[in-house]
Amino acid sequence: EAGVTQSPTHLIKTRGQQATLRCSPISGHTSVYWYQQALGLGLQFLLWYDEGEERNRGNFPPRFSGRQFPNYSSELNVNALELEDSALYLCASSYGTGNEKLFFGSGTQLSVL
Amino acid sequence: RKEVEQDPGPFNVPEGATVAFNCTYSNSASQSFFWYRQDCRKEPKLLMSVYSSGNEDGRFTAQLNRASQYISLLIRDSKLSDSATYLCAVVTSGTYKYIFGTGTRLKVLA
C-alpha cells in the first residue's frame, strides 16, 4: 500500500514569489493535515482538510492557504513568500475521526532566497 | 503556556539503559495521544498510540496520566538505533487538531 506522497521534494523560490506544494494521502484516508517545521523547531499546525473542506487552521497568516480535491489529495499554497517561510512542510493523512494515527509524507523542503 | 510541552534534552544514555520521557498537555479535553519518532530532517514516524490503561510494544511502554495531564514513554534496553527525537502528539476533542510537542532528543552512546 502506498504511503503519503508529497511533491516536490525540494523547492527553491525567491522572496515575494508563490509556492505550491502537493500531497496525496493514503488510499481511504479522507483527512489531510499540513505542518510547518522550521530548522530546529517543532511541528507547527498549519491546516486540516477533511472531505474537501477546511476544518481548522493554525496561527498562520492568510497567505498560507490550500484546498482538498475530490480525490482527497491536497495542495498548500504560500503567497508572497518571506525568508522565514523556509522550512520543511509535512503533510499527513488519517481517517479523520480524531482518534486515528497520522501518517506523514517525507515532506517538501522549501527554501526562500 | 504551550499546549504540549516536552523537555528538549538531549538525553545521553549508554546502550542498554532505560530512559523515560514525559510530555505534558494543558487541555483537559484532550482525547487521543501518540508518540512519534523523528530522525534528523525526516518525517515523523508513528511509534505508538497511548491508551488509558497503558500499553507496551516490545521495549517501549507508554502511559497516560489524565489527572496530572501527561503522557510518558519508557524505553528499555536502549539501542544505538533508538537515537532520534521523540515527539508526543495530543488531539483535542472536537477540534481534531493534532498538536505536537517540540520533541525530546535521545542519544544512545556505545
What pLDDT was estimated at residue B96?
79
What pLDDT was estimated at residue B95?
76
Residue found by looking up cell 483527512 in the block: A31
What pLDDT was estimated at residue A41?
82
Q: Reduced to 3 states, what is the DSSP secondary structure of residue A111?
A: strand
- Taking 80 as the threshold, does the pLDDT of residue B1 lie above it? no
Any bridge partners for residue B5, and if so which?
A: B24
Write out pLDDT tens, residues A17-26.
999 999 999 9
Indicate yes or no: CB of A42 within 8 angstroms of CB of B96: no
Q: Name the residue among A48, A98, A106 with its Cβ closest to that of B42.
A: A106
The nearest alpha carbon in chain A to B85 belongs to A42
Q: Name the residue among B43, B91, B102 with its Cβ closest to that of A104.
A: B43
The nearest alpha carbon in chain B to A109 belongs to B41
Lowest average pLDDT, out of A14-18, A42-46, A97-101, B2-6, goes to A97-101
CB atoms within 10 A of CB A108: 22
Instruction: Tell me whether B96 touches chain A (CB under 8 Å).
Output: yes
Q: Output B82 or B9, whichever has higher pLDDT.
A: B82
Q: Using alpha carbons, select from A111, A77, A76, A113 the residue that is nearest to residue A91.
A: A76
Write out pLDDT tens, residues A30-60.
999 999 999 878 899 999 999 999 999 999 9
Give the contacts of B33 (CB within 8 A, at least 6 positions apart): B25, B49, B50, B62, B64, B71, B88, B89, B90, B91
Q: What sign does the dihedral A47-A53-A56-A62 (CA atoms) show?
A: positive
The nearest alpha carbon in chain A to B47 belongs to A101
Q: Kindly give the pairing relationship between strand B60-65 and strand B70-75.
A: antiparallel
What pLDDT was estimated at residue B87?
97
Mutation site for B-interface testing, chosen from A7, A102, A108, A111 by largest number of B Cβ within 10 Å: A102
Indicate yes or no: CB of B96 within 8 angstroms of CB of A55: yes
CB atoms within 10 A of CB A60: 16
The DSSP secondary-structure symbol of B109 reads E
Burial (CB count within 10 angstroms: exposed 0-12, middle 13-18, buried 19+), residue B53: exposed
Collect all residues of chain B within an 8 Å Cβ-Cβ radius of residue A41. 102
What pLDDT was estimated at residue A98?
64
- Taking 80 as the threshold, does the pLDDT of residue A65 lie above it? yes
